Structure 1
């Protein structure tokens, strides 16, 4: 750590693995799947208590309403948990935002519920890497930063619905990100220290198709088969895939008994455009396919959903942020590399506000969204040190406005 000043060495010296690890284990023991309201409430309470150690206001914010479609094609309001907001020095002229999520992909009845050690450094457990370890090290880094006569103001935002697209928190993300110098998001880095650069966008859709029922033997020609129309639409959407744009028809619901022409089908699909231009092209392709299928099959089609994660390109100010973090990591002796990724996260939504964001500031780990998820516990303290050092250096040296 020869590149650190004495002030910087003193700042990061108190950061240790033990308290970060203990919090991670405590939080990972709480099932906070996105649909588990009780678990999310418990997790939000623990987070509010822990982040109250910072010198700011802690509040839990109600989710925005989100409309979804059920298996009968009927809209309903999807419940979500509350979101955590911590505001520190809101009066400061220079402010940043740090974000994470408390929800995981594991529902309350999922068999993967407990942690165990695969070896002294590898903690296997639900949400350990994605991202309860990241939340814990974020807090430790902020606590250390607060000991160094800080002047930066910041908001901490932890939402309850990131794993399902942040539909109940996107507006709040945009509001909190506005006018910030930059953002740090605590998604996990890869085990070798690889960090995400550009990300594609993502949109989730539900297409409700209403046809006309009829007897499958006596007068099938009087029917309008909604399942056939859904299958046709799925094939058209799959054929729209091209360089920089993936389209994935994922599920068809609905149907009827074998002796009845089905009058209802619901097609669910996801698309991922690499650039904003491709996002516009994709939406036009979807609209054209829906119109043509409705016309050819004589059905009515209602489209629900849209691109909730805009593509995240890399701006010059984002490059400046990456450069600053890379230099800090090198001075700490941490290995770091960069690569574009196919995944999406709240970093996409922050970037859409024009704020530069680095969205893999969390723990090193892997196999996320699977029963093999793990974190490398030896990275907990170093990554907390990285948070403290980055904030301290920007506080002292500034960042392009």
Structure 2
């Protein structure tokens, strides 16, 4: 850490792994799958108590309404947990935002519920990397930064629905991100500690197809087969794939007994455009494909969904932020690189607000979204120091271009 001056060394010296690990273990022991409202409420309470150690106001914000298409083609409201917000020095002229999520992909009945050590440095457990460890790193980094006569203001947002697309927190993300100098998001690092650079956008869709039922033996010609129309549309959507655009028809719901022409089907698909232009092209193709299938099968189709995570582009400000972070990492003996990746996260939403964001500031680990998920414990204090140093240098030097 020879690249640190005396002030920075004093700032980072008190950072210790043990309390960060304690928080990680405590929070990973709480099942907070996105649909587990009781678990999310318990997690929000623990986080509120922990983040109250920082100056500022902690509040829990109600989720925005979200609707989902069910297997019968009907829209129904999906209930989400509340989101945690901490605001520190809201009057400051220069402010940043730090974000993370309290939800995991493991439901209450999932067999993966406890942590254990694979070796002295490898903690295996649900949400350890994605992102209970990242939240603990964020808190420890902010606590260290607060010891250094800080002047930056910041908002912390920990939402409850990131793993399902942040639909109930998207308005809150946009409101808090607007006008910020920079953003740090605590998704786990890529393998080897790499940072995520550009990301594609993502949209989830459901197409409800209404046909006409008829007897499959007596008068099938009078029917209009919704399942067949859904399959035709799925093939047309899959044919849209090209460089910069991924389309994944994922599930068809519906059907009828073997002796009945099915009159209802629901096709679910995901679309990932690399650029806004690709997103616009894809939307035009979807509209055309729906019209073609409607005419060919004489069925009615209704499309639900949109690109809820815009593509994350790299700007001069993003390059400058990465330069600051990579220099800080090198000075801490944590050299890093960054590369484009296929995943999406809240960093997409923040970048769409014109704010430069690095969205893999969390722990090192791997096998996320699986029963093999793990984190590397030595990244806990290392990444907390990186957070504190990045905020301190943003505060002291403000290197981002205007």
Please state which band the TM-score falls in when normalised by the shorter chain: over 0.9
Please report how far the alpha carbon of residue 263 of structure 1 lies from its aligned counterpart in structure 2 after TM superposition. 0.3
Give 1:348 shift: 0.2
Structure 1 unaligned regions, length at least 5: none
Does 1:66 find its partner at 2:53?
no
1:384 matched to 2:384? The reply is yes
CA contact (8 A) 1:192 1:335 kept: no
**Structure 1 residue 123, shift from structure 2 partner:** 0.5
Alpha-carbon distance in 2 for matches of 1:47, 1:289: 46
Total equivalences in the alignment: 401
CA contact (8 A) 1:237 1:249 kept: yes
Give the whole-Å Cα distance in 1 for the aligned partners of 2:87 and 2:62. Answer: 16
Query: Which residue matches 1:261?
Result: 261
Q: Residue in 2 aligned with 1:219?
A: 219
Aligned: 1:193 with 2:190? no
Deviation at 1:190, TM superposition (A): 2.5
- 1:108-138 Cα distance to aligned partner (Å, 9 max, x none): 0111111110001000111000000000010
Q: Following TM superposition, by how much is the alpha carbon of 1:191 offset from its aligned partner in structure 2, in angstroms?
A: 4.0
Give the structure 2 partner of residue 138 of structure 1: 138
Distance 1:106 1:40 in 2: 12
Map 1:343-354; keep pairs closer than 5 Å. 343-354=343-354
1:317 aligned residue: 317
* Partner Cα distance (1:179, 1:323) in 2: 21
| Aligned mates of 1:326, 1:10 — CA distance in 2 | 21
**Match of residue 202 from structure 1:** 202
Residue by residue over 1:163-201, the C-alpha shift from the partner in whole angstroms, topping out at 9 and shown as x without a partner, is 000000001100000100010000000241111000000
Match of 2:150 in 1: 150
User: Shift of residue 295 of structure 1?
Assistant: 1.1
For 1:233, the equivalent position in structure 2 comes to 233
Q: Does 1:300 align with 2:300?
A: yes
The aligned residue for residue 355 of structure 2 is 355
Is residue 400 from structure 1 mapped to residue 397 from structure 2 by the alignment?
Answer: no
CA contact (8 A) 1:254 1:265 kept: yes
Aligned equivalents of 1:340, 1:214: Cα separation in 2: 51
SS in 1 for 2:148: coil
* Cα deviation code 1:347-395 (max 9, x no counterpart): 0000000000000000001111111111001100010000000000110
Q: Aligned with 2:378: secondary structure?
A: helix
Assess if the C-alpha contact under 8 Å between 1:48 and 1:58 holds in 2.
yes
Name the CA distance, whole Å, in 1 between partners of 2:194 and 2:137. 18
Deviations 1:57-107 (A, max 9, x none): 000000000011111111100000000000000000000000000000010
In structure 1, distance between residues paired with 2:106 and 2:30: 11
Distance in 2 separating the partners of 1:179 and 1:335: 30
TM-score if structure 2 supplies the norm length? 0.99
Is the CA contact 1:329–1:336 (under 8 Å) kept in the aligned structure 2? yes
Instruction: Please state how far the C-alpha of 1:337 moved relative to its aligned partner.
Output: 1.3
Equivalent residue number for residue 110 of structure 1: 110
User: 1:81 and 2:81 equivalent?
Assistant: yes
CA distance in 2, matches of 1:264, 1:14: 62
Q: Matched residue of 1:250: which SS?
A: strand
Q: Distance in 1 between matches of 2:401 and 2:117?
A: 43
**What's 1:56 paired with?**
56
Tell me how far apart the structure 2 counterparts of residues 12 and 276 of structure 1 sit (CA, whole Å).
41
- Paired with 1:286 and 1:370, the residues of 2 have a C-alpha distance of 32
User: TM-score w.r.t. structure 1 length?
Assistant: 0.99
Say yes or no: does 1:125 pair with 2:125. yes
What is the CA RMSD across the aligned residues, in angstroms? 0.6
Query: 3-state DSSP class of the match of 2:247?
Result: strand
Separation in structure 1 between the aligned mates of residue 205 and residue 142 of structure 2, nearest angstrom: 38
> Which segments of structure 1 move beyond 3 Å, counting only runs of 4 or more?
none
